Amino acid sequence: MKELRGAPIASGCRFAIVVARFNEEITEGLLRGAREALVEAAVRDEDVTIVRVPGSFEIPVTALRIAETGGVDAVICIGCLIKGDTMHFEYIASSACQAIAAAAAATGVPMALGVLTTLTEEQAVARASAGRDNKGREAALAAIEMATLFRQLEEGYPE
Ligand code: RBF
């Protein structure tokens, strides 16, 4: 029986991080967490491309384009939606998350979800603060695991 799983060290793997500028203070905190996780996984700076987009709504199409053309092992998607008093929160949150999943399925490139959907700004701040609970860090760890897992799949299930 074979059992495959990703590895914590991803040197040689290439990543893109798509970051929404909307709620920028939060998304920059998520980006810092993601970058720290990549450094800890021995991913070189030259193997990481940061792509900034206006808001979370623009993340999926950008991730799709990168996956189609960019030669990356995984895409880390970072955004922050805070519930306001309009229906836009639900629309943008569900369309962004579904479209990220669809982009991953269409391209076969793993896409990690680091898009916060919170009721309050306080909740968003807590999830973007430095430390192990930073959701950008968690998204990067998922991307690292999936990138290294897929490298093994491409190598043809080594003994
Ligand atoms: N983008 C976000 O990333 N987070 C938000 O909380 C957010 N709230 C929005 C609320 C409204 C009413 C609108 C119209 C847009 C919002 N956006 C938000 C921006 C959206 O993701 C996108 O960038 C713009 O709608 C332009 O396509």
Amino acid at 146: M
- pLDDT at residue number 156: 76
Tens-level pLDDT at each residue, the chain (159 residues)? 889 999 999 999 999 999 999 999 999 999 999 999 999 999 999 999 999 999 999 999 999 999 999 899 999 999 999 997 677 888 999 999 999 999 999 999 999 999 999 999 999 999 999 999 999 999 999 999 999 999 999 887 655
* Measured distance CA(125)–CA(95) in Å, rounded: 23
To test the pocket of ligand 1, the residue of 27, 28, 56, 78 to mutate (highest count of ligand atoms within 8 Å of its CB) is: 56
| Per-residue pLDDT at 78 | 98
H or E segment and range at residue 50: strand 48-53
Q: How many CA atoms lie within 13 Å of 28's alpha carbon, on the beta-carbon side? A: 4
From the CB of residue 95, how many other CB atoms can be counted at a distance below 10 Å? 13
Predicted confidence at residue 84, as pLDDT, reads: 77
Which residues, judged by CB distance below 6 Å to any ligand atom, belong to the binding site of ligand 1? 20, 22-23, 54-58, 79-82, 86, 88, 92
Residue 27 Cα, ligand 1 centroid: separation in angstroms?
A: 13
CATH 3.40.50.960 for the 15-152 domain, yes or no: yes
| Amino acid 158: pLDDT | 56
Ligand 1 centroid to 78 CA: how many Å?
A: 14
State the pLDDT at residue 2: 87
Task: Name residue 48's beta-bridge partners.
Answer: 15
Q: Which atom of ligand 1 is nearest to the CA of 92?
A: 21
What's at 31, amino acid-wise? L
Check the CA dihedral 17-21-23-25 and report its sign: positive
pLDDT at 157: 62
How far away, in angstroms, is 82 Cα from ligand 1 center? 10
Q: Hey, which residues are catalytic here?
A: 88
Distance between CA atoms of residues 41 and 60, nearest Å: 25
The whole-model pTM stands at 0.96
Predicted local confidence at residue 159, as pLDDT: 54
Nearest CA to ligand 1 atom 18: 55
